[in-house]
Amino acid sequence: MSILVTGGRGAVARGLCAHLDAHGVPYRLGSRERGTPGAVHCDLTDPSTFPGALAGVRSVFLYAEAAGIDAFVKEAVTAGVEHVVLPSSSSVLAPDAAGSPLSASHLAVEQALSASPLRTTLLRPGSFAGNAQGWAWSVKSGRPVHLPYPGAYCDPVHEADLAEAAFAVLTDPALAGRAATRAGPTSSPGPPWSPRGPGPRRYPRPWASPSGSSSRPGRRPAPRCRPSCRSRSWRAPWGSSAIRCPPN
């Protein structure tokens, strides 16, 4: 079995590669940068790089890039790829997903894969725990963390958990072909001393761990969104139950 892992610089892909290495599972790392050590050139916006990257591959961990998805699907089918695992986004489940900058690209990739003969597994995380790293400077310096809707519920998933789920579905055929919403262990609002209601707030003490841990109730990073949908996402009552893949 040969696996192509795209998006190799991301935290999830790095975690997945670590699992594959630890279990002796052969894989090929794809990089959009030419000459990357230990990687094959695979630019998901450049179809000319697809044949070489997909040769001999049977499974793909595919970064959600919509620009060349139709060409990628066509080449994957030609190359004999059997299974694609897509780290998508739970935002595609929203009624207005097609018109949202946050979810439109993920939705386009999901639809292209679903319309193809490729067996597809969709992993749909919400907020990533690692996004709280953006607060590191404020936390370390003792300055306030600025949040527009600190009372919103959120259940972030750690990137390492998503990498473990990806490894499970790539190596166990019984888990493939599903759509799974991935979330953290609990859903919590902002800190108990935070005032409720909309509008920006400044807190005399930061309330987010710089590690972005998703295992500490009451300390949840707010979701990082693109500017055009950031306010709406922060305002939403985040927190839904997760559909988890069984452990490998």
Does 7 score more than 80 pLDDT? yes
Instruction: Report the distance separating Cα 131 and Cα 234, nearest Å.
Output: 14
Dump pLDDT digits (tens) for 195-215: 333 444 343 334 433 333 333
Domains, in order of start, for the chain: 3-235 (3.40.50.720)
Per-range mean pLDDT, top range of 4-8, 55-59, 217-221:
55-59
Arithmetic mean of pLDDT, 73-95: 94
pLDDT tens per residue across span 174-197: 999 999 887 666 665 554 333 333
Q: If pLDDT is split at 50, 70 and 90, which confidence band does 42 have? A: very high
Name every residue whose Cβ is closer than 8 Å to that of residue 99 and which is 6 or more positions away in sequence: none
Res 237 pLDDT > 50: no
Long-range contacts of the stretch 23-29 (C-beta < 8 A, 24+)? 23/167, 23/171, 25/1, 25/170, 25/171, 26/1, 26/2, 27/2, 27/3, 28/2, 28/3, 28/4, 28/53, 28/57, 29/5
pLDDT at 56: 95
Q: Which residue has the higher pLDDT, 198 or 66?
A: 66
**For residue 45, pLDDT beyond 90:** yes
pLDDT for residue 129: 76
- Which of 185, 104, 231 shows the shortest CA–CA distance to 223? 231
**Residue 34 or 55, more confident:** 55
Q: Would you tell me the crossing angle of helices 69-79 and 104-114 to the nearest 10 degrees?
A: 30
- Percentage of the residues of the chain whose pLDDT score is greater than 90: 46
Of residues 61 and 142, more confidently modeled:
61
- Tell me the residue type at 178: R
pLDDT, tens only, 89-109: 888 998 889 988 879 999 999
